[in-house]
Amino acid sequence: MGRKQTKSGKIRLTEVAKLAGVSPITASRFFRNPEALSLSKRERVDSAVKELGYVPNLAARALASHRTEVIGVVIPSLTNNVFADVLRGIYDSSEGSRYTIQLANTRYSILQEEKLLRLFRAQKPAGLIVTGINQTAESRTILESMNCPVTQIMEIGDSPVDMMVGFSHYDAAFAAISHMLEQGYRRIGFLGARMDPRVQRRFEGYRDAMKGASLFDPNLIVTTSVPTTVTLGGTLFADLLARTSDIDAVFCVNDDLALGVLFECRRRQMSVPGDLAIVGFNDLEFTASAVPSLTSVRTNRYEMGRHAVTMVIDAIEGRRPREPVIDLGFQLMVRESSTPQSA
């Protein structure tokens, strides 16, 4: 026999408390700060919630507390493997907390980002995680008026809205080009797609490393604003070869493009790294298992997600980090594709 419900058909918190054998205040604390309850009480309340099918009224609680228990996450893509790793870190680190993750996808549109940030501001989130540091003036104003902890992810800069965790895309690209120069490569091409602000900083690292070696040549650069695919990598490489045939290496702004270049080399019977060295970016799983294995810049995406949500939750609960900006750095994973066979 089902338990008596209110006229609206909704289970009340008092019913949850009664079934769990705790006070209504204790039951309410379970949703606001479960760590404050003993393990026994948490288990009893949790069991009662599940048995009754109780759903807390987040909107009412937001009005009472002036914020929800939602942490908003604004990212530019739900299909890009890079952000999949970041999200895995966010979810793993938030698991067991009282906070719910709510995703929003800008699809790399600054106008869509502004729209989503306005929506989040109206919903009064407990905290917010946003991608990048190149928000518009309007988006920056919205973030600064959120009245909640905000962590910017994927890169670092001099002017965080609140907190920041990431790495320098410029330094990472500069290090990749420096590696190729040290290996003796001189005609190093640049292949870029979408060309969002983070990719543009990778280009700046490439440009400055090549200029520092007095080897910069605009003819070595092929870019497009269209989204990245493996097939696109082969197409961009073919365009580069049509422009100049004396290249001996390419730096790709991500691993998808690098894999496309590797496939195109196979089609053209070009040896890697004998005829061409290849370096990618992000160090996705397939780079180590490709034949030959692909050199790539490893970015700590999972750790980025974990740090971001931990920083937000700690700040919400009054434990703000001593250092508001965390540089997770990067690692150049040198593999077969950029190591000359004579080395």
- The strand pairing partners of 296, in sequence order, are 280, 333
Q: Determine the Cα–Cα distance for residues 142 and 100; give it in Å rounded to an integer.
A: 21
Q: Determine the Cα–Cα distance for residues 338 and 250; give it in Å rounded to an integer.
A: 9
The residues near 186 (Cβ < 8 Å, ≥ 6 apart) are 213, 215, 248
Q: Determine the Cα–Cα distance for residues 85 and 334; give it in Å rounded to an integer.
A: 21
Residue 200 is encoded by which pair of tokens?
């543009």
Q: What is the pLDDT of residue 5?
A: 47
Spatial contact of 129 and 71, defined as CB atoms under 8 Å apart? yes
The DSSP secondary-structure symbol of 220 reads G
Q: What is the pLDDT of residue 29?
A: 75
Q: Determine the Cα–Cα distance for residues 260 and 237; give it in Å rounded to an integer.
A: 8
Give every strand in the sheet of 221-223, ordered side by side: 221-223, 188-192, 249-252, 277-282, 295-299, 330-333
Q: Determine the Cα–Cα distance for residues 339 and 324; give it in Å rounded to an integer.
A: 38
What does pTM read for this prediction?
Answer: 0.81
Q: What is the pLDDT of residue 343?
A: 46
Q: What is the pLDDT of residue 8?
A: 44
φ and ψ of 186, to 5 deg: -125, -40
Nearest one of 111, 105, 95, 149 to 131, comparing CA atoms: 105
Is the pLDDT at 9 greater than 80? The verdict is no
Residue 12's pLDDT band (cuts 50, 70, 90): confident
Reduced to 3 states, what is the DSSP secondary structure of residue 131?
A: strand
Alpha helices in 110-254 (DSSP H): 110-123, 137-144, 169-182, 197-212, 230-243
Nearest one of 29, 46, 33, 31 to 317, comparing CA atoms: 33
Q: Determine the Cα–Cα distance for residues 250 and 233; give it in Å rounded to an integer.
A: 11
Tally of helices (H runs) and strands (E runs) in the chain = 13, 12
Spatial contact of 259 and 223, defined as CB atoms under 8 Å apart? no
Range 25-46 average pLDDT: 80
Reduced to 3 states, what is the DSSP secondary structure of residue 141?
A: helix
Q: What is the pLDDT of residue 60?
A: 55
Residue 23's pLDDT band (cuts 50, 70, 90): confident
Encode pLDDT of 265-323 as tens digits.
999 999 999 999 999 999 999 999 999 999 999 999 999 999 999 999 999 999 988 89
Q: Determine the Cα–Cα distance for residues 298 and 263; give it in Å rounded to an integer.
A: 21
Residue 11's pLDDT band (cuts 50, 70, 90): confident
Q: Determine the Cα–Cα distance for residues 235 and 233; give it in Å rounded to an integer.
A: 5
Q: What is the pLDDT of residue 241?
A: 97
* Backbone conformation region of residue 320, classed left if phi is above 0, alpha if psi is from -120 to 50, else beta: beta
Q: What is the pLDDT of residue 39?
A: 86
Q: Determine the Cα–Cα distance for residues 332 and 23; give it in Å rounded to an integer.
A: 56
Residue 183 is encoded by which pair of tokens?
């290996």
Distances (CA, A) of 191 to 216, 251, 253, 254, 280: 14, 6, 6, 9, 10
Is the pLDDT at 140 greater than 50? The verdict is yes
Residue 231 is encoded by which pair of tokens?
């097939």
Q: What is the pLDDT of residue 145?
A: 92
Residue 282 is encoded by which pair of tokens?
């992000």
> Percent of the chain at pLDDT above 70?
92
